[in-house]
Structure 1
Amino acid sequence: MSEEEQIRQALHSILDDAMQLLEELSDVAFASKVKVEWNSRMRSTAGRAFWPEARVELNPRLISISLVEVRRTLLHELAHLLAYYRCGRRRIAPHGVEWQLACADLGIPGERATHSLPLPRQQQQKKWRYSCPRCGKGIERVRKMKRYVACYPCCQKYNGGRYKKEFLLVLEQIV
């Protein structure tokens, strides 16, 4: 058997095991709706989950990193779908308590929200810098702000969290 066939067989095994685990934790009807696809357009993202469609997209570059990462990323994304399935129509945080519980149930307890895989990252130069006239804290942005924005910490501290023109961020410089 060639190396490519071995990898293909291992990928099928990973997918079958994950789907069987998902069936045990939810139900057959939900698990049968879940679709897993490879998305060759992904660059820095390892995977994505789409709740309404019950679809998971994985970065094919994961295969060259390791099959362990393929499995972990697949389970990470399935945990998103399982968390939303369990909560029904209730809104949940993407990497909140419900997701963490789903991760633990899928066999990846302590899973982190982000990865440190050797996937290329695109760094965009931040061209716009804004600062708060009250506290002096600044933020840098790739795009220019289109609306008036106030310093949230100052609004929290001095105005009960409500917008106040006094804390309006000022364009400090164009980097």
Structure 2
Amino acid sequence: AYHLSQRGKRVRLFDKNCPWKADSSDPSVALSTYSAERMRKQWFKEHVELYPNTPIQFVKKFDEFYEVTTHDGKTFQSPVPPLMAGGFDGSHKLVADLFEQRDDGFPLLNEDDESTIVSGMFLCGPTVRHDNHVFCFIYKFRQRFAVVAKAIATSLGLPAEELEIYRMWGMYLDDLTCCGEECVC
């Protein structure tokens, strides 16, 4: 929306939530500071219509336009194909049967992001959850890669000391006590 509006294009931005008004600095649940600042640009305000709490039901192509229908039945027309930025609903569903499920539907993992029912099956990415900590922002789930790498190396009897360099770079998050309501990244 930012780049299109910067070029003078009219944009309708639908979101099933309202991340631009979320009361958190955690980019897993709210916009990053950088994105929020970009939304304050004059051309963004002039060219972008925000539709919070408005999930899309379906998009239908007609001869000369596309029709977007929301869950509450409202329709919008566009002469160009709508862009779908659906977030991080990833391919983890292909291996869902290899993980127990938490009460909230996310995979149950041990402290190394490994399945509790299939040894050696690790999960990385936006569906990783520990307690109430959300790791769906790309920087945050990258911080867990070294944790998984160390667990794999250790299980194979390989040295893992060189992974400590990731800790110096701030990319080795194995102490989840520092994760709270606010984002520490």
Q: Provide the TM-score with structure 1 as the length reference.
A: 0.30
Higher-Rg member (1/2): 1
Please state which structure has a larger fraction of its residues in helix. Answer: 1
Q: Provide the TM-score with structure 2 as the length reference.
A: 0.29
